[in-house]
Each structure stands twice: as C-alpha cells, then as structure tokens.
Structure 1
C-alpha cells in the first residue's frame, strides 16, 4: 500500500514519526495526511490523580504507535438501562489528543484548529466518527487537533477537596500541549483557533474567561453557546444529589472508592429526576444535565459574557452563531413535537422568559400566531442557545473587539424534514460526516445531494479562512446593521433574523444559575 493511498491507512514502520516533549510517536498516512491518534497530553486521571488538576504525562522510551484513538472518558448517558460503555478502547488513558496534518514538517508553520466536542458536559469522545477531521485539514491546508477531556462526575461535578471545572483544566492542558508540541507536526503555535459546539462552545467561551488559558489561542469559534453556567452554591447542591445516588458524600475520599465508569453509570439516573427539583434548581432542572461550568471565582472567575464585556477577549478574533431552530432536536428526541399543551407552554414561558408572567405575555405578544408547541420551543431555543450566542458577539463588539456572526437556516433532510435547522446540524455539515453519530439521525433516509456537499464545503471554507486570517468571508458584526451570514442552499448576509426574540431579552443579563432554596 502506498503511503498516500486514500483507501486505507499505512501501518508500516515507515509511517511518519514526530518527537514530542514526552517521546516519539508514529502516525499513519491517510487521505494524503499524516494522522496521529491517542497521544497523551496528561497523565491518566486515576488513583492519586483522580479528581485533581491534570498532571504531566510520563515520558516514554522508543517510538509509540499513535494509530488508535485513546479510550473515551467515563460517560454519564443519563438514559435508563444504558451501560455507559462506548464502542471504543477501554482503559484509563482518557486525556489524549489526535492530530491531522498535511505535513509533519517543523518548517511548515500552518494554522492550527483545536476542536472541543459537545455533549452536555457528560457525553463525548474525540474518537467519535462524526469528528473525523481530515476534510477540514485538507480544505484549509492546516493542522487539526481534537482532544478528550473529563466529563460528568470526573470533570464537572462539585466535589469537596477537588478543584472545580476539572474538564476545563484538561482543555487548558491540551492547549499547553499544542503550544509545546504542535510545531513538530507542522503547526504554528502562535496561530491557534479553538472551536467547539454546544458544550464544546460553552467550553470555548469559558476559555475566553479563564486566566489560565490566556495566550494559548488567538481565535475562537463558538457554535451554539449554551447559557447554562452554574453558581458555586447550585453546583454544590447538585453535587450532594449526585453523590446521594450512590449513598455517599460528594468528597474525594468517599467517591474515590467507586471506579470511574461505575460511578458514571450509578449517578446517571439523576438526569431523569432533575425536573422534580425545579423549585430548588430553577432553570437548570429541566435541562436534565447536572453538569455545567461552575463560576467558582478561581478556575472560572466570571461568566464568559462578563469577561468578554470587560475586554478579556478583545484581542481574540471571534466567530459565533447558532442554528435557527435549536430546540427542535430535543422536541423530536423527547417525543414532544405536536404534543405540547398550552399549560406546558405557559410553564416554560414563565420559567425561562425574562420576567416570569410578564415574560410570557411579552412572548405571546411578539409571536401572536404561534401555537403552544411553537412557543414552548421558541423560548427554550432562545434561552438555551440563540440569545447567549448573540450576547457573546455583542459583548465582544461593545468591548472594542471584533466578532463575526452566523445562523444556520438550512433544514436537516432526515426523518421527513421535521427537524428543521436544529441543534447539532452544523457538525455533520462542517465535518462532512453525514451518516455518523448525530448525522445518522439528521440525515436518516435522505440523500446526500450535490447541494448538501456545496453547503458543507461553505462551512469548511468559512471556518478555515477564519482560522487563517480572522475573516470568514462576511462583514464583522456591529450593533447598527447586525450583519449575519445565513447558511442555506443560497447563502445570504442579512441583518440578524431573530430580532423579535433579541428585543425580548435586551435587558436580561446572563448570570450564573442560582440555587433557589
């Protein structure tokens, strides 16, 4: 098999070899790229290192084969009967990176893109087929890095005796690995773009606010930013409830007695119980994920919106956006489409809209033709994703920085088209992985037409151009004209389309979610 044979990898001893700070790694030749998988950037976070900040990886002798993705971190699937086991290698070496590069030549100095996956801060794995990054690397002639980080109990639960936001600290450690090692893979450590979707977008936005992350990247792409950031009091209370699922206290000493994957499985049932805590946990309860970044005053001193407003990201180029019908995915997956009563709509409007009952009246007035299901979906789309995303761009511009904004308005073709431009649709379009992971649902039963391929190419072209130059191909956002790139079969740049919702939220700050009682 030839080294550049795109039909399969070359696992011969002639594969590309790169020396990292910890030791040499041998990769594969795939699609004309050099690909390295499963390179550890920190020590396995088990034993004495469990629930601690990431620790340096031990050096190794000889050349390590970097052919396979590392094991996924323990997953809190939150589904009754779920095993918590993915179709991936087993083991404790979760903290690994993967690299796709056109040429592992230190003289190349190509731009670098670092992908952070989403999954409600409790799911995800950089080795998922939907994140196969070779098309992005080829489209932009740049280096792409994907990484694992701790999730759920291991990465985000409030645990006494452990630092908060351990998953975010893992991401910082991975970015430090990029700074120290990526030049050997042909990348430029001074030209790094971090990009992520959903919880990956929340992570990327958190990095903008984290002193530990400053100087590690110069551009950021935030795709569907969740507005859910926990106060320390709320995180502590949820931590008590999580530990109670296994009859323990939320302390390092207690929880260390339960193996990580067993713990993830044992606490997963709390997700389905969360709605009953609405009187105590408020807006966090219906999200059915007990994990989010915690504004602890140390690792994450303030929310991303507060940090960006203060100018913390003024020198970072920012690309932000969302899909038009974000919450539709959860409506369909939860069997709620077409089944929402007016009472349920009122409950959602009073819980999520600014001003409670006044917020409900304002939404009903702003959307007079909307039925109960449309109002239920609209307010949760706005609260959870669209307004937080818009606010981040507005904060950046107000602080004197530059931001570009987009909205995906093209509808997912699968399942008879009921999903619309829903949450997560940008992932298979960006990566070109239409039948993998979430893409399998969004494109189920649908043909991948030439028009789809063109739209997918537009995503990659815009993202890689931004990584190279800070300009994705349309005008920066400003408060007067609000230019927004609409990704559809026919792309256009228009003033932000969701002005009705934006107006309803214009005076509402995004603060850490509080503990109510």
Structure 2
C-alpha cells in the first residue's frame, strides 16, 4: 500500500474536527504533498442491464459470521428466505451470479442459528437447499440447521435456500466489483439500483431533497419532485453523491487529493444519503433497526463518503441498516442575517434542517431497504454529536427517531444565537461585496467566491475581543432561532422541553482535548513559562484558574507537564464534566440516559498515527472512537484490523447496535445462544451490566478487556469546576443570561 494512503488515513483518524487554521494539519499535509501517490478509483461503475429486483426475489439476506478481524477467514452466504423448489432456488442463485452454497461451508450451523440479519426468517425454517452434491435428479440436498447434517429430499419440496456470496468487502482505491447489482423500488423516491459486496447491499448517492443551488441556496431543503426519479425510471445508486463544499481550513490539497480524502468530489449539490443494508425483506417481515449517522468535522469539513465511515462491518455484525448523509456546512449550512434578511427569505439552521429532511426520507422509504422506520437511532461524533444535541432540541424532529448516540459532542459549548450567527454571515456578505440585506447578491456568487469570502470573514471574526472565548473548531453551530430550536439545550434540559422520550447514550474519549492541544501549543512549554504562555494564547482567567486548581497539578519531573495538564483539564471542562451535569439533568427529567468514556481507540498507539501526531500517541484523543464504531480499520488495502483493535470494535458495535434495537446497551441475557441476540455471546459485553444514569453518576468505561462501571469518579472536580470556573454554556448561552447548574 502506498505510504501516502497510510498517512492520509492517519489524518482522518486524528482529525475528526480540526480547528480553523489548524497547525496540526499543516505539517501532515506538507508531507502528504511530497509523496508520489497513486490516488485513483478503479471501481467498475455504471448500471448493469437486467439486474434483479428485490421485490421479485422476495427476501434476500447477506449472512456473515463477522468478528471484524481482517485476518479471520470469512464465509459469506446469501439466504433466499422465500421457500422454492430446488431448481427455482438454483435459478435465483444463478441470476445473482452465484451458485447454491456448499453444505460444508465452515460454521454453517452456527451462522444460521445466530444471524442478527435474518433472525426472524431463519426461525421459520429448519431446512435449506444447498448444492446438490449427489447429482440426483429427483432427490436434492438440504441442510438442517438443528442437526447440522444434510439430508435428501424431493426436489419439488419448497425450502429457503443458501447461495454463495463471492464478492469481497469494499475497500477504498481498489477494484471493487460493482457488477452484482439489485433494484429496490421505494414508496416515494423512485427505483434505485445499487450493488452487493461481502457485507451489505450498498445504495449510494440517493438525493433526499432538491439541489440547494441557484435560488435554493440558503433555503430550506425542498422536497424532491416525485417525477424526477419515478415513472418506472431506474436510477443509479452505485456511486457516492457529491461531498458538500468544504471550508479549506489550511488543507492545501489539490482537487484530486480532496476527492480521495473525502471519497467524492465537492459541490453544493450535495443533499444525498447512502443506505447500507444486509437484508432486503419480503415486504411482510419486520424490518431491521436503522442507524442514521451524521458525520463530524466542525460543521466545516468531511463527508459521508469518507472511508473512516465505511459501515460494512457495523452493518453485518450488528444486523442493522445504516444510513449516512451529507448536509450543508459552514456558511452554506448556517447562513442567517436577521433582521436584515428575514427568516421568510433565509430561514437559517440549514444544516439541522437538512438532517431532518434526511430523517423524513428515512421514515418514508427505509422499509423498502429492509429497515424499520419505527426503530430509528440517530448517531454522530464531534459536530455529529453536536447535531444530536440540535435534533434533541428541535421539536419537528422528535417523531423521526427513537434513540440517540452522541459521541464527543463538546457539550460545554452552547448553541449559537442570531446575533452571533448573523455577525459571521454579515462579515461574509461584506467580503462578497454584497449589502447585508441583499440575499440575491449572495445567491448569484460562485461557490469559490463564497468559500473565499467566509474564510476572510472568520479571520476578522476571531480577532474581535468579544469572541475570545469561542473555540475555533466551534464557530458554526446550530442556532436558537425561536422557530426550529426554541432555547439552548441546557435550558431545555432544565425545563424538560427537549426530546425526553428518546433513549440517550452519550460520552467521550479519555483524552478528547489531546487532539487540539498541539494546535494551541505546538511546542513543549517550560513550567516556568506556564502562566505567560497561557495568557498569550488563551486570554481567559478561567483557563488559568482551571489549570491551577487542586485537581490539575503540574509535575516538575515531566518535561511536557504544562501541555499534559492543559489536555486533562480541557477534556474535563469541555466533555467529561458537562456530560455529567447534563446526564444528571436529563435523569431528573426521567430520560433513559447511559454515559460512557472510551479508554481505547484506534490510531492512538498504532503505527498509523505514531510519529505524526505525537501528542496523541498513548492517548485516546478526539476522533479515536470513529473506527471502533464502524469497524472501519481495514477500509484501505494494506491496513488491517486485528487483535485488540478488532476485539474493541466488536464490543463497541455490539453495545451500540443493541442500544439501537432496544434503547438499552445491555444484551438480553435470557436470549443466550438464540439467533435474536449475537451480543449476548460476546463475553466482553454480556459479563458487564451497564446501568442507566442515576445519582451515583455511573459511567461505563469501554476498554479492550475488563470494561467496567465506575461511580462518582469525577464528581468532586466537576463540582469544583462548576462552582469556581463555570461552564461556557452557563456564561455564553444564546440568551446572555447565566444558566444555573443542575442540582
């Protein structure tokens, strides 16, 4: 594998939400530029003729005993759940480009008895047609999942069947075979033709709203015209749609490098989603639980097509349908300038509105892809976690999901307000040469002109004294507009006006702030220079007060003690402590809340990051939970996911998908070895009970081995911080009024 691709993957892992003008990105990317890379996509593209329709097969499911370990042999199969005579089953396998499976497939009995993908279908039958190794014409071979043996039955008996699945898993930048295609007809979005790989059916680049270009720029996402993709038209779902326009952030990449980095080209025409499903149901069986992912990146960068979000292992091991989506970012997604431009002309909160539009699409169409629209979990990391906070705060979204997983949301930082958001927009308008009220002027500018103008505007904005407190990775945020979102999340939790019915899982990594420390302090700081450097880089007495508190003492024997202490204090301040506070408040409101800290991650001790982002070596930094969540450590060729990394990913996937199915991260112990509960067979999951949040402050510590629950571990320092330092959401909330701490 080219070294440049490993380096680029390290950038993805370490930079889930890099700050504006990042000093982390520059040295990495300068090395990236110097490499002679073979960045290309050799995938076979385009639609194949005469692809079968899922409705005609009436139940097709991809089975795989997936331990998410790259080195473990895999034996994927296809289950045809509709009973047919032998010859008809054989014909369907042939139509799919496969053969009837061998009865000697390793682990066949175990696979059938424990599949999370087609548990309901498998329960309905004990026998399945397999390859007829006897060559008989009247007697054919069936496999009995109860006994594990084969038997000869009349070929006219109707049984479900097992086909081979010869397609490899998808990897970026390789010759992925997209020829095994299949069509799905949706109720409201037309017919889409995607393809199969080892783990999933992939339907990519499906629009969920009209293109937000021209007069639709800065407008609410508009529902699609049904005729555009309907009328018996077969639409191509074999390629990702455009990534939403990125804010450069010092990433001086060529367009080719950007394409590889994002997994797609950039455009404002980006309101697309992707559906990854292991099962296309027969229309009568209950659908699988659905997990809708919102990517992070500070509302400025990244896309659903980024290889780190490759969900094949999550889909097949978890037995869930995963939807990833793109949404407008930076000024394109958070444009508002009231009162100069009224909300009737530019409503604002477009990023959140896009996410809601995608969830509406899921509600209307996901059943066609094997999903259950009544069992939707939304999840996201960093700005994706922030998006979870926005969706928990927006009443119009409440009926579109049941569970929420919020990863590494800097929950200390409040939502924005019209004055704050309008100031950035107004500065951008000035840079464009447009009057503050001239929406048409901004709509007529090119994408590049707006991107350049907002870059200048941000530089001006951050130099203003009143914005000193603002973290540069959190300039763009959902806004309390009194329309979509009525109050800051902290105030909504106090009053019980967030989505209290949703089951909530949220948490952080052990060393979140470590990813950002080198941006602020690129070099080691001598202990004697601590106060002077803090004052120079962070002119805020609260920061110095926090660092000099009883809980964050420097160690004179540690040459990097200032940055290490700053990292620990910042992690607690922006993540650990405010999550504890919000958990306490939500528990008071009778919400089911589960709180965690990840004590392991991918990219912290591995060769991918070591020597590149040295400060995070040995830490579990911001973004190090992305790969375990998706099991995407082998998304690029030559990069594997084995050993502890695979084991940890199994644990995270099992907890997250169990929560997505039940609203509770604990597997059903009574299920035992039944095919309803794969997670119950994972001792790392089944042996530790994760309690709901209560007054004892239970926090689940994810680790490779010996994950455990700790109680009241951080209460003292968090109470000290609340009393002596105060949180940003208390001091800088949208209303400008001080928000009291929860009891």
Alignment TM-score, normalising by the size of structure 2: 0.63
1:387 is the counterpart of 2:577: yes
1:304 is the counterpart of 2:489: yes
Partner of 2:397: 213
Q: CA, structure 1 residues 513+254, in 2 after alignment: closer, same or farther (shift >3 Å)?
A: farther
Partner of 1:242: 428
Deviation of the 1:51 alpha carbon? 0.5
1:429 is the counterpart of 2:601: no
Number of aligned positions between the proteins: 504
Partner of 1:94: 270
Partner of 1:415: 610
Deviation of the 1:337 alpha carbon? 5.1
Equivalent residue for 2:718, pick from 483, 486, 502: 502
CA distance in 1, matches of 2:363, 2:194: 20
8 Å CA contact 1:402, 1:476 repeated in 2: no
Which deviations, in whole Å up to 9, do the C-alpha atoms of 1:82-135 show, x marking residues without a partner?
A: 568544135543111111111122334111100000000111211111111111
Which deviations, in whole Å up to 9, do the C-alpha atoms of 1:321-359 show, x marking residues without a partner?
A: 001211111123566252474123356777384xx77x4
Partner of 1:315: 501
1:344 is the counterpart of 2:530: no
CA distance in 2, matches of 1:317, 1:223: 14
Deviation of the 1:35 alpha carbon? 1.2
**Superposition map of 1:475-494 within 5 A:** 475-490=690-705, 491-494=707-710
**Superposition map of 1:45-194 within 5 A:** 45-59=212-226, 60=229, 61=231, 62-79=233-250, 81=252, 85-87=258-260, 88-89=264-265, 91-105=267-281, 106=283, 107-159=285-337, 160=341, 161-194=345-378
1:200 is the counterpart of 2:390: no
1:36 is the counterpart of 2:203: yes
Task: Spell out structure 1 runs of 4+ moving beyond 6 A.
Answer: 347-350
Which deviations, in whole Å up to 9, do the C-alpha atoms of 1:376-405 show, x marking residues without a partner?
A: 333432343333333332221111111011
Deviation of the 1:263 alpha carbon? 1.4
1:224 is the counterpart of 2:411: no
**Superposition map of 1:438-453 within 5 A:** 448-453=641-646
Partner of 1:6: 167
Deviation of the 1:514 alpha carbon? 5.9
CA distance in 2, matches of 1:372, 1:187: 50
Which deviations, in whole Å up to 9, do the C-alpha atoms of 1:28-83 show, x marking residues without a partner?
A: 11124211011111000011211010001122231101011110111112217456
CA distance in 2, matches of 1:448, 1:399: 41
CA distance in 2, matches of 1:451, 1:13: 33
Q: CA, structure 1 residues 436+264, in 2 after alignment: closer, same or farther (shift >3 Å)?
A: farther
CA distance in 2, matches of 1:454, 1:13: 31
1:372 is the counterpart of 2:585: no
8 Å CA contact 2:244, 2:267 repeated in 1: no
Which deviations, in whole Å up to 9, do the C-alpha atoms of 1:131-165 show, x marking residues without a partner?
A: 11111111211111111110011101334341121
8 Å CA contact 2:634, 2:641 repeated in 1: no
Partner of 1:484: helix, strand, or coil?
strand
CA distance in 1, matches of 2:461, 2:254: 20
Deviation of the 1:245 alpha carbon? 3.3
Partner of 1:424: helix, strand, or coil?
coil
1:461 is the counterpart of 2:654: yes
Which deviations, in whole Å up to 9, do the C-alpha atoms of 1:355-380 show, x marking residues without a partner?
A: x77x447x432222354323433343
CA distance in 2, matches of 1:179, 1:346: 51
Which deviations, in whole Å up to 9, do the C-alpha atoms of 1:407-440 show, x marking residues without a partner?
A: 0122611315641110000001111223769xx9
Deviation of the 1:255 alpha carbon? 1.3
Q: CA, structure 1 residues 288+127, in 2 after alignment: closer, same or farther (shift >3 Å)?
A: closer
CA distance in 2, matches of 1:34, 1:382: 41
Which 10-residue stretch deviates more, 169-178 or 310-319? 310-319
8 Å CA contact 2:385, 2:408 repeated in 1: yes
CA distance in 2, matches of 1:58, 1:385: 42
CA distance in 1, matches of 2:574, 2:456: 23
- Unmatched tracts of structure 2, length 5 or more: 1-96, 99-163, 171-175, 556-560, 667-688, 737-743
Larger Rg computed on CA atoms? 2
CA distance in 2, matches of 1:330, 1:514: 25
Equivalent residue for 1:24, pick from 168, 171, 191: 191
8 Å CA contact 2:180, 2:196 repeated in 1: no
8 Å CA contact 1:120, 1:198 repeated in 2: yes
CA distance in 1, matches of 2:259, 2:288: 33
Deviation of the 1:275 alpha carbon? 4.2
Q: CA RMSD in A?
A: 2.9
CA distance in 2, matches of 1:449, 1:133: 17
Alignment TM-score, normalising by the size of structure 1: 0.89
CA distance in 2, matches of 1:185, 1:150: 25
Partner of 1:365: helix, strand, or coil?
coil
CA distance in 1, matches of 2:576, 2:459: 25
8 Å CA contact 1:38, 1:67 repeated in 2: yes
